[in-house]
């Protein structure tokens, strides 16, 4: 028996997609989910702030290099020195 055109696999996927879109639009229009408070805030960092944090970053990277050298991982040590 031949399936009807509206019950083929392709059309079922279209119906499910429309149902998902309708549910999401309804949820946002009725404020079931309010993502208004989750907006990201982008803040600028000044040169002075970056410069004040750079010594800490350098110390952390030096610690990684020392640890890699102690463990004998020459790939990380060579990458740290820029001689890979």
Q: Which residue has the tokens 């083929």?
A: 8
Average pLDDT over the chain, rounded to an integer: 79
User: What is the average per-residue pLDDT within 10-17?
Assistant: 92
Tell me what percent of the chain is helix, strand and coil, each rounded to the nearest 5: 70, 0, 30
Q: Highest mean pLDDT range out of 1-5, 37-41, 45-49, 78-82?
A: 45-49
Q: What is the pLDDT of residue 20?
A: 96
Give the integer Cα–Cα distance in Å for 13 and 19. 10
pLDDT digits (tens, 9 = 90+) for 16-48: 999 999 998 888 888 777 777 777 666 787 888
Model pTM? Answer: 0.38
Per-domain boundaries in the chain: 1-34, 52-84
């Amino acid at each position: 028996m031949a399936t009807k055109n509206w019950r083929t696999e392709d059309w079922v996927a279209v119906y499910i997609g429309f149902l998902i879109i309708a549910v999401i639009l309804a949820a946002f229009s009725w404020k079931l989910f309010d993502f208004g408070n989750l907006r990201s805030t982008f803040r600028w960092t000044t040169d002075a702030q970056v410069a004040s944090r750079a010594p800490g970053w350098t110390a952390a990277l030096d610690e990684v290099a020392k640890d890699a050298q102690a463990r004998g991982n020459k790939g990380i040590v060579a990458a740290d020195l820029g001689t890979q």
